[in-house]
């Protein structure tokens, strides 16, 4: 239990760090990391590609994912898979872009198919997770 407590504490600290970082980002000129990346891009005379900043975010997110997922209790591993599945449907943003450009012909078709597929996932994934989580109950005292 001690170890668990320690891990949770560390996670809380990590959470606080993330919150701080978010605030920093919010206060930074440009608003968000990507915009900050673009700003740095111009500041550095175009020497640093925005890709580098996106990649940095990507790598940091992998680390965040690593620590967060290790703290998930094994009893909830099935809901974890269901919910990661649901959130990976955020690929819907790409589908929306393709459908929205309705003059684009074939692209609209592909976008529409993608949109239907991920909508199944978004609604199905979150709802089935909710249904599963509602079943986990404590012992009645």
Residues 53-72 that bind another protein (CB under 8 A): 54-55, 57-59, 61-62, 64-66, 68-72
Total binding residues toward another protein, as defined by CB under 8 A: 97
Q: Is 77 in the site for another protein (CB under 8 A)?
A: yes
Q: Is 40 in the site for another protein (CB under 8 A)?
A: no
Q: Return the residue of 32, 43, 44, 52 that touches another protein, per CB under 8 A.
A: 32
Cα gap 79→93, rounded to integer Å:
24
Nearer to another protein, 45 or 73 (CB): 73
Q: Return the residue of 18, 20, 43, 52 that touches another protein, per CB under 8 A.
A: 18
Q: Is 116 in the site for another protein (CB under 8 A)?
A: yes
CA-CA-CA-CA torsion sign (90, 29, 55, 43): positive
Cα gap 22→16, rounded to integer Å:
10
Q: Return the residue of 31, 42, 43, 52 that touches another protein, per CB under 8 A.
A: 31
Cα gap 68→12, rounded to integer Å:
10
Q: What residues contact residue 94 under an 8 Å CB cut-off, 6+ apart?
A: 111, 114
Nearer to another protein, 8 or 44 (CB): 8
Nearer to another protein, 44 or 72 (CB): 72
Q: Which two tokens stand for residue 11?
A: 């996670």
Q: In this structure, what are the phi and psi dihedrals at residue 135, rounded to the nearest 5 degrees?
A: -85, -20
């Amino acid at each position: 239990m001690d170890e668990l407590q320690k891990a949770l504490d560390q996670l809380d600290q990590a959470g606080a760090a993330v919150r701080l970082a978010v605030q920093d980002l919010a206060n930074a000129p440009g608003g968000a990391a990507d915009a900050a990346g673009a700003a740095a891009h111009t500041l550095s005379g175009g020497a640093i590609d925005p890709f580098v900043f996106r990649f940095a975010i990507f790598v940091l997110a992998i680390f965040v994912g690593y620590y967060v997922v290790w703290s998930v209790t094994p009893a909830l591993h099935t809901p974890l898979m269901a919910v990661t599945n649901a959130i990976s449907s955020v690929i819907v943003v790409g589908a929306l872009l393709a459908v929205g450009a309705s003059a684009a012909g074939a692209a609209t078709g592909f976008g529409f198919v993608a949109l239907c597929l991920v909508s199944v996932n978004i609604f199905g994934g979150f709802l089935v997770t909710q249904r599963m989580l509602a079943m986990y109950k404590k012992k009645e005292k």
